[in-house]
Amino acid sequence: MPESPGSIVICSCEDTMPLDADVVRRGCRGANVTTASHLCRAEIERFRAMAGAAGPLTIACTQELTVFDEVAAEAGRTAPITYTNIRETAGWSSDAAGAGPKMAALLAAAAEPMPAVPVVNLESGGTILIYGRDERAVEAANLLKDHLDVTVLLKPPAEIAPQRSTEFPVVKGAIRLAKGHLGAFEITVDDFAQPAPSSRSKLLFGPARNGAQSRCDVILDLSGGTALFTAADLRDGYLRADANDRAAMLKAVLKARDLVGSFEKPRYITFADDLCAHARSRIVGCTRCLDLCPTGAIAPAGNHVVIDPLICAGCGQCAAVCPTGAAAYALPPADALMRKLRTLLMAYRAAGGENAVLLLHDDVQGTPLIDALARFGDGLPANVLPLAVNEVTQVGIETIAAAFAYGASAMRFLLRARPQHDISGLTRTIALAYSILQGLGFGGSRVAAIETDDPDALGATLRALPAVPSTPLPATFIPSGAKRSVLRLALRELHRAAPAPVDVVPLPERSPFGAVEINVAGCTLCLACVSACPTGALADDPERPVLRFAEDACVQCGLCKATCPEKVITLKPQLDFRAATAAPRVLKEEQPFCCVRCGKPFGVKSTIERVAAKLEGQHWMYKDSPSRLDVIKMCDDCRVAVVSEQDFDPYGSPPRAPPRTTEDYLRERADAKERTKDGS
């Protein structure tokens, strides 16, 4: 809860749900809680008086917020009002009599402040390309010609009757490549041809060519073929409909008509390229975000990646799996979402709630499903706390760890039966959370996904969940800061609150925690891994040959393994709760080699001895003068001095044999024939 919770009004919506103001007061400590039964109509003057007063105000109704906002403006209120829904989420349920703690939790969480989200701007001039197969594309163009600058592109063979008058271009071609976004699409067209003005019974076209380029602001795809973009429903400005479905086509046309002017979209991801562990020295390490982005908004850019905010659709999977925190979600940031969870669960517990089950859902699919369950079914169980997020796939392991540390008994992610995009990132996060929770003694299926579009199936699944007691000593920490820091804090608190804490938990592959192991015998302490490590988990010592490892900093990016010339490094995914306070451990240490001339230590003793052994008596530089081998055993300063004193010529190698020519081969062949002839 914020420092000044202010006033909270809970309305029974014409006595269709029971209210327990005392329970709400216990959960929303310090708030002035009052009840109503018809606040939006019969008791509107009560609301007008409260809206005109200073201080925070929370109204437990979202259906009539337009009415409330109008009355509040008339009353001269300038401060925003917080609205939250406790009717479909709590009061309209067969468990409504016991839903008081849930109502308190939802009201408390609604008042938790959320930071502003940065935005990016999109500009559309209204140029639209309609890509189709037949007259239906022309029909759509006729509907849009008075609103947008229309061009129709027909897939071959493009056999349609010519138009009586040319009100917009109709051309032929097949789109080979499309890229861009609303206001800035670029397409490449093959078999492109202009129509012949003399076309009579059917539209004829002139000579065709490949590789034609074009730009437009909006694309309406009625071609019926494969979508031009991956995750096509998430690409701003790209509209796709089945031309055989007139209702769907009309809906797309109406939507296209409005795509003119300036638009704002959230900058979903904040990115710090200096934290990115994608590559070092052209050796690729971490590709987690690249593997998961459904829209192709992420691309390599040297040692790091770049994220195009104009293409990004905000699924958040890149931020959820980013091991370093280079990519972080902004709607809201991870620490803000964790603070909301903290308020929700602490208020629920303070109001007497038990066995809290968190249900994370989005507003587009999840909220209507919950509403339908409340209106036509038994509603949500009293211990299920719904929490709406922008995208369910944005949730990372830090949020799950915090939820169970704060006292959640279980956690469920509500997904579509047929997701709009790949959800393997969330699947990976759930698998990681499952391993950690199981390792710490949280038995049962504590975290999972519910994939359904059926409200009855949702209700049945939630009511079938076994009652699992939450931790008796939940955490109360306040998360603040970057993702990696709040993740460490959440895991530490989860370990403290665990039923059976252990020091080390094995994790699945590609987890963001783990150890580095080396084959000590094969390691030459070249320290290439140290220079490649992006987080400083691997470090050397300027005074002596040693390789140290700090597990708390390791993100298992794999750059050390990919860089190691001896291939002696392996990754071991695990979560060691002692790593946060442990000193870096030594992976390998050797004696330094002392210069045979001045005695100064330099290099690694075993390496110098091995190099000297390989060169002795073998290389031309040292074969005739064994004393020259001492140069290998000297430090940089002494080596230069000795080479200068002894006139050591590094280019004094034996003369090379002259290059062989065609004449040499022909002469050898002739000599061989002569020898064969004489021998016969």
3-state secondary structure 575-588: EECCCCCCCCEEEE
Residues 538, 586 contacting (CB under 8 angstroms): no
With residue 25 as reference, give the H or E element that holds it: helix 21-27
Retrieve residue 193's tokens. Answer: 């041809």
Q: What are the distances in angstroms from CA 418 to CA 23, 210, 454?
A: 39, 37, 12
Could you give the dihedral angle defined by the CA atoms of residues 544, 637, 600 and 519, in that order, rounded to the nearest 10 degrees?
30
Q: Give the right CATH number for 514-589 from 3.30.465.10, 3.40.50.150, 3.30.70.3270, 3.40.50.300.
A: 3.30.70.3270
pLDDT at 654: 62
pLDDT digit string, tens, across residues 613-628: 877 767 666 666 666 7
Q: Which helix (H) or strand (E) holds 355?
A: none
pLDDT band at 1 (very low <50, low <70, confident <90, very high): very low
Express each pLDDT in 643-678 by its tens digit: 777 766 666 556 677 888 888 888 888 888 888 877
Work out the average pLDDT over 515-531. 93
**Rounded CA separation 447/412 (Å):** 6
More confidently predicted of 648 and 266: 266
Residues of the chain with CATH 3.30.70.3270: 514-589
Helix 424-439 to helix 397-405 angle (10° resolution) is: 40
Cβ neighbours of residue 470 closer than 8 Å, sequence gap 6 or more: 354, 355, 356, 407, 408, 409
Beta-bridged to residue 544, according to DSSP, are: 541
Lowest mean pLDDT among 40-54, 192-206, 555-569, 632-646: 632-646
Beta strand pairing status for 119-124 and 261-266? Answer: antiparallel
Architecture of the domain whose range is 267-329: 2-Layer Sandwich (3.30)
φ, ψ at 382 (rounded to 5°): -65, -25
Task: Provide the β-strand partners of residue 383.
Answer: none
Phi, psi of 7 (to 5 degrees): -105, 140
Tell me: pLDDT of 142 over 80: yes
Nearest CA to 269 out of 303, 298, 299 is that of: 298
Which of 359, 450, 355 shows the shortest CA–CA distance to 408? 355
Residue 617, H or E segment: none
**Cβ contact 38:19 at 8 Å:** no
Q: Which segments of 558-658 are extended strands (E)?
A: 569-576, 585-589, 592-594, 601-604
Reported as a single tens digit per residue, the pLDDT across 178-237 is 999 999 999 999 999 999 999 999 999 999 999 999 999 999 999 999 999 999 999 999
User: What average pLDDT does this structure show over 534-557?
Assistant: 94
Close Cβ partners of 111 (under 8 Å, ≥ 6 residues apart):
1, 2, 5, 6, 28, 56, 58, 82, 343
CATH architecture of 121-264: 3-Layer(bba) Sandwich (3.50)
Confidence of residue 605 (pLDDT cuts 50, 70, 90): confident
**157 upstream amide cis, omega within 30 of 0:** yes
CB of 35 closer than 8 Å to CB of 21: yes
The continuous run of DSSP H or E covering 440 comes out as none
Q: Which residues of 56-89 are buried (b: 16+ CB within 10 A; e: fewer)?
A: bbbbbbbebeeebeebbeeeebeeebbbbbbbbb
SS3 sequence, 334-351? HHHHHHHHHHHHHHHHHC
User: Distance between CA atoms of 537 and 530, rounded to whole angstroms?
Assistant: 8
Dihedral of the alpha carbons of 454, 456, 457, 461, in degrees to the nearest 10: 140
Pairing of strands 127-132, 149-154: parallel
With a threshold of 0.85, does the pTM exceed it? yes
Go through the chain and tell me how many residues it has: 680
Q: In this prediction, what percent of the chain has a pLDDT beyond 90?
A: 81
Q: Which residues contact 398 (CB under 8 A, 6 or more apart)?
A: 334, 338, 483, 486, 487, 490
pLDDT tens-digit readout, 336-351: 999 999 999 999 999 9
**5 upstream amide cis, omega within 30 of 0:** no
pLDDT digits (tens, 9 = 90+) for 444-487: 899 999 999 999 999 999 999 998 888 888 999 999 999 999 99
Q: Examine the pLDDT at 265 and tell me if it is beyond 80.
A: yes
- CA distances (Å), origin 523, targets 480, 530, 531, 572, 589: 41, 13, 15, 17, 10
Beta strands in 331-440 (DSSP E): 357-361, 384-388, 410-415
Residues of the chain with CATH 3.50.50.60: 121-264
For residue 461, the number of C-alpha atoms closer than 13 Å in the C-beta half-sphere is 21
pLDDT given for residue 665 in this prediction: 86
pLDDT for position 67:
97
Average per-residue pLDDT for the chain: 93
CB 595 within 8 A of CB 638: yes
Region 62-80: mean pLDDT is 95
Confidence of residue 631 (pLDDT cuts 50, 70, 90): confident
Alpha-carbon dihedral 503, 509, 514, 520, rounded to 10 degrees = 110
Q: How many other C-beta atoms lie within 10 A of the C-beta of residue 673? A: 10
Q: At what angle do helices 334-350 and 397-405 cross, to 10 degrees?
A: 20
CATH 3.30.70.20 range(s) for the chain read 267-329
> How far apart are the C-alpha atoms of 48 and 73, rounded to whole Å?
9
Name, in order, each residue with C-beta under 8 angstroms of 636's C-beta and a sequence gap of 6 or more: 602
* pLDDT recorded at residue 664: 85
For the chain, the C-alpha Rg in angstroms (whole number) is 35
Percent of the chain's residues with pLDDT above 70: 96
